[in-house]
A = this chain, B = another copy of it.
Amino acid sequence: MEIMQTQKLELLKLKRLGIDTYHENILFLRADCSVCVSEGFTALTRVLVQFNGKQIVATLNVVYAEILGAGEAALSEIGFLRLGAQPGDCIEINHLPPIDSLKDVRAKIYGNALSEKAFQAIIKDIASGYYAGVELSAFITACSGNNLTLAEIIGLTKAMIESGTRLNWNREIVVDKHCVGGLPGNRTTPIVVAIVTAAGLTFPKTSSRAITSPAGTADTMEVITPVDLSLETMQSVVEKEGGCIAWGGSVNLSPADDVLISVERTLDIDSEGQMIASVLSKKAAAGSTHVVIDIPVGPTAKVRSMEEANLLEEKFIAVGKAIGLLIDVMITDGSQPIGRGIGPALEAKDCLAVLKNDKEAPLDLRLKSLQVAARILELAETAEKGKGLAMAMNLLDSGAAYKKFERICMAQGGLKIPGHAAQMTTIKSEVDGTVIDIDNRKIAKIAKLAGAPSSVNAGVVLLTPIGTKVSVGDVLFEIYAEAKGELTYALNYLNTGNQPISIV
């Protein structure tokens, strides 16, 4: 066969157009530039952009006006950042080689089970930024529902661990916890870390940002202290204090997971297999050995029945075993939100109130945190079976937990006071009676429409838990937002048949 040489392409000089496309690498080229003409590149072609030994995959937008001069190209803001390039630098543009792992994605779409090797190839390409949004979405969708076997979940989990950094703390026991979510305001983590590290255990906590909820632990903690820690900072915090509460994405643990989560958030889906892989890959990569998983069960929680919870428990334990983690699953009451605030700053205020033993602190959040801490203390054999709760309570009530929390925050970069939203409105009862039900999903939706988690001060404060007696005009809950439009948006949803609180 005859072979042609790949010709060297012309270099183009970068100009800054200042276009923010969030996580999407966009390359802007003039329609008449030699690369477009000679390579047949058109809008939305995926191309390889190279500079100084680095490369990124970008999606092409073609420019027909004078915002770019001859010989110039531009990148979206994130493109400059990821490529490490500055305006004036010269980039090289090439065809994107075919992404082989997409064959495996198609096989999965057609119902075939994937091998660990296939997951490794897919996750590696995703972590490298080679997948377009529609391709990520196809992978996520194909793995959703109950479409992954246990062997596939293990394969995916291992692939996700291997795609990033793996921490090693050189300690025999490293504990962690995770809540499966679906329960607004269930923000026990900062309190649990404080109690458990005050007991002397090692607890290097890395948390996700929200997927489909109004706030993730990382979103909440970011209101109080920096969570975007470098690996070095995280290690020195844990070395010094025994624990930390960091955002997992910033230390490159399971990096593909954050890409997948950003698409899952858009789609508002959170599949079982990917959830297990996401949770346990982060735990293993963070160097944990003993992990407590909290599965709240309730009619409007993520897990709605005990059967479902039991199946999930089995899978967590089996996948944990396959990757060397000792898992303890606690199935808890998920019938209503925990704490009062729903949204990053509002939840942070609840956590601080509990830690400071404030008389007004939400009792349910305090109790739940103590229970989780107790399970960890017992799993790690720091407390004898049955003695965990007393130990946890003593650490919290004595102020030892809050002191430890302050020290961790100072080590992470300082302790901030949560702020207030610019807009607030109150929702009042129109009847006399007793609150008999709270729809978690509707409460979460209202908080999200009001701007949470991206507006950190936005959200909902719930004043009437199940069982509260209310009269006409009593405030049921408050909605906080930064922009009037967002408040309107939340109210429009509420007023079109989506009242979350049932009173009889």
Shortest CB-to-CB span from A46 to chain B, Å, is: 9
**Interchain CB contact under 8 A, B2 and A483:** no
The answer to whether residues A98 and B145 also contact, given A18-B64, A132-B266, A133-B137 and a CB cut-off of 8 A, is: no
Which residue from chain B places its CB closest to the CB of A16 in the assembled complex?
Answer: B65
**Interchain CB contact under 8 A, B95 and A7:** no
Q: How far is the CA of A77 from the CA of B63 in the complex (A)?
A: 10
Residues of B within 8 A of A3 (CB): 491, 495
Which residue from chain B places its CB closest to the CB of A102 in the assembled complex?
Answer: B268
Residues of B within 8 A of A19 (CB): 28, 61-65, 67
**Interchain CB contact under 8 A, A18 and B483:** no
Q: How far is the CA of A141 from the CA of B263 in the complex (A)?
A: 14
The B-contacting residues of A in range 346-393, CB under 8 angstroms, are none
**Interchain CB contact under 8 A, A426 and B2:** yes
A-side interface size class: 35 or more
The answer to whether residues A106 and B268 also contact, given A16-B65, A65-B17 and a CB cut-off of 8 A, is: yes
The B-contacting residues of A in range 1-51, CB under 8 angstroms, are 1-7, 9, 16-24, 26, 28, 31, 37-40, 42-44
Residues of B within 8 A of A38 (CB): 483-485
The B-contacting residues of A in range 370-423, CB under 8 angstroms, are none
**Interchain CB contact under 8 A, A109 and B67:** no
**Interchain CB contact under 8 A, A4 and B488:** yes
**Interchain CB contact under 8 A, A1 and B427:** yes
**Interchain CB contact under 8 A, B484 and A7:** yes
Residues of B within 8 A of A66 (CB): 18
Q: Considering the complex of A and B, which 8 residue pairs feature the smallest CB-CB distances, nearest first?
A: A18-B65, A18-B64, A137-B137, A141-B141, A134-B137, A22-B43, A39-B485, A20-B62
Other than the given A18-B64, A21-B44, 8 more pairs (CB < 8 A) read A1-B494, A4-B487, A4-B488, A19-B67, A20-B31, A21-B61, A95-B489, A138-B269
User: Can you sample 6 A-B contacts with CB below 8 Å?
Assistant: A4-B484, A109-B144, A133-B133, A135-B266, A137-B141, A142-B144
